[in-house]
Amino acid sequence: MSTDENNELERGKQSGVPYSHSDLTADTVSKEQMKAFNQRGRYVGNHEGFGAIISDDNRLFYSTREPVAVWWIKRVAYDIWDNGFRLINLKDKDDDTLNVDTQKQLRLLKAKTHLPRLTIFERRYGTSILLLSYTGFGSKSAWEKPLYQLNSDGQPPKTIPNTNLLQITPYPWTSVNISTIDEDPSSIRCGLPMFYEINSGTGGDATSPHGMTATKNIRVHWTRITPCAPRLDEHPYLGVPAIDEIWDDLVGGRNAKWAAYESNYRVGGGFPVIKMEGTAAQNREWIENGGLDNFLNVRGYFVCNPNESFEFAGAKGSALNPTTIVDMYFTNIAAATGVAKNSLQGISGGRVTGGESDERQYFKSITLQQNMIEPTLRELIDRLIQTGQIVFTGEYEVEWIDPFEVNPQDKASIEFLETRTRALKTWLTINEVRAEEGKGKIDGGDVLMSMPGQMVPEGSEPAPNQKKPANVEEPNGGKEAESTLLDRVLNNALDM
C-alpha cells in the first residue's frame, strides 16, 4: 500500500470507526473500505469536519441532507417570503395604487418562485445573484453592454426609457465567477465587480450536485445583475453563508447520530466474541472466505482462542445515553439562530401559551431576516420604476405582513358573526330602544333592565328598577314588598 493509503487508513482508525479483526492487517483493506472511513463531515484529519474549512460541496450536502440545516436554509427562506409584503406610499398612505401595480408586475416576473430560490442560494453560499433580462437581451454582446451610466452623484438614473424588465433568474454563487473588478480609485464602485461570468448550463450529477453538465458561460455587465449578500462582513461583496453560523454543531450532531445508528447496527445485540480452536492462520482464512456470513449479521466482532477474553470495560455492555449530546446540539443552534429549541425540534411548547410564544419568537427571527433581504427587494422594485412598468415618483415603505395578522377573509367572517350576534340579541337597553325610535338618551338608560329575581349581567350596574333607596326604612318591618304580578303568583304557588 502507498504511504497516502496507509495514512488514510490510520486516520480512519483514529476516527473511532469500529473495524473487524481482519482490518488490522493493512494488506486486506480495500480502497472502498478506506473511503468508508472518510465519510463527508466526519472527524478525520484535514477532511471537512468540526472546525475545518468548509467547502461549497459540503454546504450543499448538509443543506439538503441534514434536517436542521434543511430547515435553517430552505424553510426560513420560504417563510421570509410566504406572507408577502405591501408597499406604502408615504405621500398618501391611503393610496394603494403603488402596491397593486407592484404586486402585478412581480406576479408577471414569477417573483414568488424566484425570490425564495435566490434566498436559498444566498443562505447556503453567502452570496447569490439575480440575472435581469431586459428588452433586447438575446444577443451575447447585449449582456456585456451597460444598461445605464451612473449619474454624477453615483446614483442610477431615475428612468431607463424604451426598456422593459422581462425576466429574473436566480443563480447560486457556485455558478458565478468575477472576470473584472473596478480598480478605479475615483469610482464609487471601486473594488466591486464590473463583469460577472455566469455558467447558465443546466443539469447536475451525484459527484458534484451543483456542477453543470452543459457549460454555457455568459459575460454580464453589473448593471444587469442584482446581487444578494445581506450578511456582508470583511469582504466587500461576498456575504457569510447562514449555514456557517451553525456548521460545527451540524457536524457534531451528524457524527453523534451516525455513531448512535452505527453502534446499534454493529453491536446493538451485543459484541460477538468468537472463540475458535484452529490455528490463527486457519481461522483467519475461514473467516475471510465468508465462514461467518451465513449466521453473523454484525459489522464488528472479535476472534480469539479459548484462552483469551474480551469485554466493553468502559460502557459495561450498555449504550451511552445521547440525551446530553442532543441537548447541547439544539441549545447551541438555538443560541446561534435565535429560535426556540422546541421550534427547532418541531414540537409545541406543551401548552397553548408556550407553543404560541415559541412561534412568535421564531417569526421575530424571520422579521430580522426580512429586514436584511429588503435592500434586494427594493432594488428590484426600483428597476421596475426605472423602466416605467410601475408608474411612481416619491418615497415608499416596505411593510412585511405579520403572520399573526388576520387576513381579509377571516376578518370578514368575524364581522359577519358579530353582525349576526347583534341581530339575534333578544334584549336592548332603554337608550337602544329610544335610538331605534329616534329619541335621545336618558340618564341610566345604558344598563339592561332585568326582571325581579334575575341576576344582573356581569360587568353591568344594577338597573334603576333594581336599586334600593339609601337610608329608607323598608315597609312591613323589613319584609320585601311584592312589587310585580310575577312575584305574587310565585308566592301564592309556594304557599299552596
Which one, of 46, 280, 352, lies nearest residue 54 by Cα? Answer: 46
Rounded average pLDDT over 145-157: 90
Q: Is 37 domain-assigned?
A: yes
- Do the domain assignments include residue 408? no
Domain co-membership, 217 together with 256: no
Residue 369 and residue 225 share a domain: yes
Q: Are residues 108 and 145 in the same domain?
A: yes
What mean pLDDT value characterizes the chain? 75
Q: Are 333 and 302 in contact (CB under 8 A)?
A: no
* Mean pLDDT, residues 371-398: 95
Location of C-alpha cell 431607463? 160
Q: What average pLDDT does the segment 312-328 reach?
A: 67
Q: How far apart are CA 291 and CA 265, in angstroms?
A: 20
What pLDDT does 379 receive?
96
Same domain, 179 and 264: no
Report if residue 487 sits inside a domain: no
Of 359, 375, 409, the residue that ends a domain is: 359
- Is the whole model's pTM more than 0.75, yes or no? no
Do 348 and 378 reside in the same domain of the chain? Answer: no
| pLDDT attached to residue 414 | 76
Residue 62 lies in a domain: no
pLDDT band at 179 (very low <50, low <70, confident <90, very high): confident
- The predicted pLDDT at position 476 comes to 54
The 3-class SS string of 140-156 reads: HHHHHCCCCCCCCCCCC
Number of domains in the chain: 3
Grid cell listed for 269: 445485540
CA 115, 368, 371, 85 torsion-angle sign: positive
Per-residue pLDDT reduced to its tens digit, 441-485:
988 888 766 555 445 554 555 555 555 555 555 555 555 554 555
Would 405 be classed as within a structural domain? no
Domain with 217 in it:
84-238+363-400
Q: What does the block give as the cell for 422?
A: 347583534
Q: Give the pLDDT band of residue 324 (cuts 50, 70, 90).
A: confident
Residue range 90-107: mean pLDDT, rounded: 95
Banded model confidence at residue 486, pLDDT cuts 50, 70, 90: low
pLDDT-based confidence at residue 215 (cuts at 50, 70, 90):
low
- The separation between CA 373 and the C-alpha centre of its own chain, rounded to angstroms, equals 14
Tell me, what's the pLDDT at 230? 95
Domain boundary, last residue among 299, 326, 359? 359
DSSP state of 239: B
Same domain? For 148 and 27 the reply is no
45/144 same-domain check: no
Identify whether residues 106 and 185 lie together within a single domain. yes
312 pLDDT above the threshold of 60: no
69 domain residue, yes or no: no
Distance (Å, rounded) from C-alpha 133 to C-alpha 225? 9
Lowest mean pLDDT of 73-77, 307-311, 344-348, 490-494, name the range: 490-494
**Residue 189 sits in the same domain as residue 126:** yes
Residue 486 lies inside a defined structural domain of this protein: no
Closest by alpha carbon to 193, among 237, 154, 130?
A: 237
Asked if 259 and 215 sit in the same domain, the reply is no
105 in the same domain as 9: no
Pick from 161, 104, 152, 111: nearest CA to 132: 111
Choose one of 359, 392, 408: the last residue of a domain: 359
CA distances from 381 to 118, 226, 377, 386 (A): 16, 11, 6, 9
Give the DSSP H or E segment for 275: strand 273-275
User: If you average pLDDT over residues 414-427, what whole number do you get?
Assistant: 69
Which one is predicted more confidently, 473 or 19? Answer: 473
Kindly state whether residue 410 falls inside one of the protein's structural domains.
no
Distance CA 283, CA 261 (A): 30
Residues 159 and 304 both lie in one domain: no
| Residue 12 buriedness (CB in 10 A; 0-12 / 13-18 / 19+) | buried
Give the burial class of 178: count Cβ atoms within 10 A of its Cβ; 0-12 exposed, 13-18 middle, 19 or more buried: middle
